[in-house]
């Protein structure tokens, strides 16, 4: 399976995917492209070190959002991935891209959806809101991308306990280490091996009980 990974920042989730492919945790998978809307994203350096082709195009370089959307769609069509992985990508994925790759785009979100998700919930903002609300448990979710924001079928979730004295930064790091870097590679491996399908708007995993035990 060929995957294209879309990133905007440091690329820690990208690195987790690269490492998991190298270690064999993700099988039958190669990264055919890393795209970033931010030409200065360190994630691009991670990709180059791993010998992965990169493309960086900012929406600001286009005359309109429509032009950017068309360009992004063409970049992805040219790469011809079997799966698109949003790994810390802060660009709203255009409807044209979602329609061109139905149930073939996945995203990692740093909360237990449907909590703290949707428009405006990204990056540290998610953890700030969780701490403001005083929840005891947060976590991460991998889901398919549809036309909504964080509304597609959920594939995997992993809870992470919130501890006294947590700051948004500390919580963000714990959720990355304990949840994001585990469930994103696992979801990619499951999809690469034909163990995930969408039925009636829900993601169904073959051998789900076994997967849960691994988490």
Catalytically active residues, by annotation: 109
Structure tokens at 49: 């070190």
What are residue 137's phi and psi, to 5 degrees? -135, 135
How many angstroms separate the first and last alpha carbons of the chain?
A: 23
Task: Report yes or no: 87 and 13 within 8 Å, Cβ to Cβ.
Answer: yes
Q: Which residues pair with 140 in a beta bridge?
A: 158
The closest alpha carbon to 142, from 87, 98, 69, belongs to 87
Burial annotation 152-164 (CB, 10 A radius, 16+ → b, else e): bbbbbbbebebee
Q: What is the DSSP letter of 164?
A: T
Task: Report yes or no: 113 and 155 within 8 Å, Cβ to Cβ.
Answer: no
């Amino acid at each position: 399976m060929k995957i294209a990974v879309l990133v905007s920042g440091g690329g820690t989730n990208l690195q987790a995917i690269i490492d998991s492919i190298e270690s064999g945790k993700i099988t039958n998978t190669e990264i055919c492209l890393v795209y970033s809307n931010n030409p200065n994203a360190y994630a691009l350096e991670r990709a180059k070190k791993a010998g992965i082709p990169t493309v960086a195009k900012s929406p600001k370089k286009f005359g309109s959002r429509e032009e950017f959307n068309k360009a992004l769609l063409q970049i992805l069509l040219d790469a011809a991935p079997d799966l698109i992985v949003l790994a810390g990508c802060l660009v709203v994925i255009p409807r044209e891209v979602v329609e061109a790759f139905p149930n073939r785009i996945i995203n990692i979100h740093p909360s237990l959806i449907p909590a703290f998700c949707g428009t405006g919930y990204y990056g540290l903002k998610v953890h700030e809101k969780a701490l403001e609300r005083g929840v005891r448990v947060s976590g991460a979710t991998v889901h398919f991308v549809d036309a909504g924001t964080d509304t597609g079928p959920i594939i995997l979730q992993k809870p992470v306990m919130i501890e006294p004295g947590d700051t948004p930064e500390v919580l963000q790091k714990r959720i990355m280490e304990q949840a994001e870097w585990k469930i994103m590679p696992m979801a990619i491996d499951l999809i690469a091996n034909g163990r995930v399908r969408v039925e009636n708007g829900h993601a169904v995993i073959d051998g789900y009980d076994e997967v849960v035990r691994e988490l």
